[in-house]
Structures are given as C-alpha cells and as structure tokens.
Homo-oligomer: A and B are copies of this chain.
C-alpha cells in the first residue's frame, strides 16, 4: 500500500489524480493540498463527498506519512512543493511544467543528498514514451524509417514536438543514412516530408483527430510499424500510476517517464 498526497487537487489534472489514487486498491490517499482552497477535508469538495481525507492549504501545516507526492500545481509553486517533499523524505511525482533548468538541477542535487527518488515528467502518456523506446530499439536493425504524426487541424506547429523527439532518439542509434532513391525528385514540393538526418517526417492535420504518431520501419521484404493514439488527457493517469508504484525504489530524481519503465 503506497500512501500518497496529491498537490493541486482542486484543478482538473489534480482532481483526476486524486480519484485515480482513491480507485487504486494498492494506493491510499492520505492527504490533499491546494493553496487555492480553504477545505479542511476532501469531503468538502462536491466531487469527493464520500471521502475522509485531510486537506491542507499551507505547506507548513502539512502533517503526513505519505511516501509519494503527486504534483499538478502551477509553475510558481512546484519548486517549493518539490523541495518540501524531498526534505520530508517524500518522493515527488511531478506533472507540473515550468521549472527552470537551474531549479531542476537543484532538486536533483537535493534528491541525491536525501537519497529520495523522484520524477519530473513533461509527458505521462505511456504509449508515447513506449513508442519512442521501441522506435529507438528497432532503428538499430532498420535504418530506413519514416515518421507520420497526425493531429487535429487547429495545431499550429509541425512536425509535433513528440515526432522531433522520436527522430532524435532514433538518430542516436541509427546508422547514418540518406534514405530513398538518390535520384529522387519531387513533382510537388514537400511531398517527401521534412528531412531529419536522412529520415523523413510527415505531419497530417485533420479535424476529428486528437494526437497520434506512427513510426514505420522497412527492410527487404518486411516492415515494422509502431503507432500510438492519445484520445484524452485521462491517459496521463496510467503513467502517474506507474510512477507512484515505482518511484520509491530509486534514490534520485529523474526527468522523463522512460527512466522508470
């Protein structure tokens, strides 16, 4: 049974995280924290009427035997929260963005001193993290790869950050190669997509889509495709759950969910 405190429980991601902890038979929600709230108990919140969990709104007040601190708060609060957790031997699992590199480095130093595990994850979507891991493994054997990312048509930038991260991870292990026919020509410019170290990246934008990525590998007579689909931010909770289960096994603070998979 992992005892968990959730910071930022009044917000959308924080309340979803609190619910995930409540629903998981291996976890126990032993506290919630939100500087925006005056609740003394979680049951004062309409969404959690049947619970009985102490609620805090001041870091200094917090008294808890939690071993994991889930943080979905705000950029200006997360650093102090994480410091508080580490200083009290609680492992932070942080989905809040916005810390500076310096703050992250500070926290990593503190985690090592205190011998406390922790995680800062810009993306808790396990399918995306696994896709990148698998793509990197496959690229060792299949240097020919094309990335197709697909998003809703409101998205401004292309290719997506995840597609570029995928290409970077692949490039780390892939035998350098300029793909395709050396005499290749484009009748319509852009047809072959964006070029990244000899690989090609294609961005599809359509209404109805959410966030999807496909990595295709090809070799003589065969193909391997890895695809991930994100339909809803609720998917992040699968990653938070894995982090809560594993973070106490470590004695340092990682950046990136892949370090715990």
Contact of A127 with B by CB under 8 A:
yes
With contact pairs A148-B202, A190-B192 given, residues A228 and B219 touching in the complex (Cβ less than 8 Å)? no
- Contact indicator B190/A219 (Cβ below 8 Å): no
| This chain's copy number in the assembly | 4
List the B side residues contacting A207 at CB < 8 Å: 144, 218-220
Contact of A180 with B by CB under 8 A:
yes
| Cβ-defined partner of A220 (8 Å) among B208, B223, B224 | B208
- Contact indicator A141/B196 (Cβ below 8 Å): no
Task: List A171-203 residues whose CB lies under 8 Å from chain B.
Answer: 179-181, 183-196, 200-203
| Cβ-defined partner of A206 (8 Å) among B185, B186, B193, B217 | B217
Q: How far is the CA of A148 from the CA of B127 in the complex (A)?
A: 19
With contact pairs A142-B126, A153-B218 given, residues A208 and B185 touching in the complex (Cβ less than 8 Å)? no
List the B side residues contacting A191 at CB < 8 Å: 158-159, 193-194, 201-203
Q: Which of A68-76, A100-108, A131-139 contacts B (4 or more CB under 8 A)?
A: A131-139
- Contact indicator A137/B130 (Cβ below 8 Å): yes
List the B side residues contacting A230 at CB < 8 Å: 221-222
Residue of B nearest to A133 (CB): B137
With contact pairs A153-B144, A184-B156, A193-B190 given, residues A125 and B204 touching in the complex (Cβ less than 8 Å)? no
Task: List A214-249 residues whose CB lies under 8 Å from chain B.
Answer: 216-235, 237-238, 242
- Contact indicator B224/A141 (Cβ below 8 Å): no
Q: How far is the CA of A223 from the CA of B226 in the complex (A)?
A: 11
| 21 residue pairs from A and B, CB less than 8 Å apart | A126-B142, A141-B238, A146-B205, A180-B205, A188-B195, A190-B195, A191-B194, A191-B203, A193-B203, A200-B205, A206-B216, A207-B218, A208-B219, A208-B223, A210-B231, A220-B235, A220-B238, A222-B230, A222-B238, A223-B227, A231-B231
> Nearest 5 pairs between A and B by C-beta?
A206-B218, A221-B232, A188-B194, A221-B235, A222-B235
A126-B142, A206-B218, A225-B229 given; 16 more Cβ-contact pairs under 8 Å: A137-B261, A141-B242, A158-B186, A158-B191, A158-B192, A159-B188, A190-B192, A190-B195, A191-B202, A193-B193, A193-B204, A222-B231, A223-B227, A223-B228, A224-B227, A225-B225
